[in-house]
């Protein structure tokens, strides 16, 4: 039985997957298995994988079902005491597993651990280092000093954003997997949903060194459909907020006024608060089956939410264009008056 199993869900990343695989096989921890689940790639991914002969590497092929399904397939096949995930366009630091497994071995209450992240571009150039929820936020908050971002409450910060950023930043115990279960069929927020489920059962930790390179490029999944991404953000909040804020052992530690302020300034839905409100009124957190039904592409209620979100996005874009146009008109008007007054002196 290997000490750790690493799962790589792969889809059309022939340019990057070789480096991802090498970064696992060259870990300072050698007692591992690497399970690559090729999720129906149509590029040269298979050809790249066929070049490796390391006996610790297992390659599985399946029809395209999405990253969550590829991860679940790999986890079901895994044998390690510890589990880790690496997306096929990201890269492990050589001592990543050694350092993060040490955290899990020394801190029994920690169920999942990640690290700081080096954000790189398609060519591997460093764009910045993400230090959990302290910087490189996925979206701006109007008053971050009043939100969970300004505190040392990592669980609260997780309600505001997925500061782990990616499933590539997950190293966790098999016991966590056995209690939390598999990844849900979310395309954009399956990692955030899994973290929020895990945080109710285990303490989560972040190692304060950049031990992962997260690649940003034109084919990142997150860039595909902004409307559906906002829908999934609202879904995650509706499912998890009530459960987390009802946890007296965690949330009741601060005075009610402080708790209310943190929540008010931490929750962000890209100006689609009505979607979150209606989902909360539908009591999604009380019925996991119904919540999962809402994720089906042909669900009529889902289509209503998506239509509303798309309308809000279009309206925001129109307001933005109108504002820029008004600003330009104002500048041109001021310039016209300036030149008019200047030249009138010489008449």
309 lies in a domain? no
Q: Which residues of 255-273 are buried (b: 16+ CB within 10 A; e: fewer)?
A: eeeeeeebbebbbbbbebe
17 is a domain residue: yes
pLDDT tens digits, residue range 273-312?
999 999 999 888 776 788 999 999 999 999 999 999 999 9
What share of the chain in percent tops pLDDT 90?
78
Residue 223 has pLDDT above 60, yes or no: no
Residue 347 has pLDDT above 50, yes or no: no
Reported confidence tier of residue 319, pLDDT bands at 50, 70, 90: confident
A 10 A CB-CB count for 126 gives: 11
The CATH number that applies at residue 135 is: 3.90.550.10
Q: Report the pLDDT value the prediction gives residue 339, as an integer from 0 to 100.
A: 44
In tens, the pLDDT along 63-121 reads 999 999 999 999 999 999 999 999 999 999 999 999 999 999 999 999 999 999 999 99
User: Is residue 114 in a domain?
Assistant: yes
Q: How many domains does the chain have?
A: 1
Does some domain include residue 88?
Answer: yes
**Beta strand ranges found along 20-138 (DSSP E):** 32-39, 57-62, 82-85, 91-92, 110-120, 126-130
Residue 186 belongs to a domain: yes
3-state SS, residue 91: strand
Question: Would residue 82 count as lying in a domain?
Answer: yes
317 falls in which pLDDT band (50, 70, 90)?
Answer: confident
Residue 139 belongs to a domain = yes
pLDDT of residue 344: 44
User: According to the model, what pLDDT value does residue 325 have?
Assistant: 54
Q: What pTM was estimated for this model as a whole?
A: 0.89
């Amino acid at each position: 039985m290997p000490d750790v199993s690493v799962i790589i869900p792969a889809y059309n990343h022939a340019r990057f997957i070789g480096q991802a695989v090498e970064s696992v096989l060259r870990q300072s921890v050698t007692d591992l298995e690497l399970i690559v689940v090729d999720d129906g790639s149509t590029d040269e991914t298979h050809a790249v994988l066929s070049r490796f002969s390391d006996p610790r590497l297992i390659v599985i092929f399946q029809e395209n079902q999405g990253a969550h399904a590829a991860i679940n397939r790999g986890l079901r096949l895994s044998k390690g005491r510890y589990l880790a995930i690496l997306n096929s366009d990201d890269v492990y630091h050589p001592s990543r597993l050694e350092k993060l497994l040490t955290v899990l071995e020394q801190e029994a209450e920690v169920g999942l651990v990640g690290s700081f992240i080096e954000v790189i571009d398609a060519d591997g150039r460093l764009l910045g280092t993400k230090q959990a929820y302290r910087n490189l936020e996925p979206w701006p908050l109007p008053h971050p000093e009043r939100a969970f971002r300004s505190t040392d409450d990592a669980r609260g910060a997780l309600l505001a954003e997925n500061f782990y950023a990616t499933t590539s930043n997950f190293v966790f115990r098999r016991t966590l997997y056995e209690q939390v279960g598999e990844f849900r069929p979310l395309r954009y927020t399956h990692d955030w949903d899994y973290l929020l489920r895990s945080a109710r059962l285990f303490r989560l930790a972040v190692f304060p060194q950049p031990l992962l390179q997260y690649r940003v490029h034109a084919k990142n999944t997150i860039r595909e459909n902004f409307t559906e991404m906002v829908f999934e953000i609202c879904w995650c909040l509706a499912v998890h907020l009530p459960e987390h804020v009802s946890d007296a052992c965690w949330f009741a530690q601060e005075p009610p006024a402080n708790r209310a302020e943190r929540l008010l300034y931490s929750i962000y839905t890209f100006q689609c608060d009505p979607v979150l409100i209606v989902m909360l009124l539908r009591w999604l957190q009380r019925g996991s089956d119904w919540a999962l039904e809402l994720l089906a592409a042909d669900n009529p209620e889902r289509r209503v939410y998506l239509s509303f979100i798309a309308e809000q996005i279009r309206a925001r874009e129109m307001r933005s264009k109108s504002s820029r146009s008004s600003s330009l008109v104002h500048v041109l008007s001021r310039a016209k008056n300036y030149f008019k007054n200047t030249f009138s002196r010489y008449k």
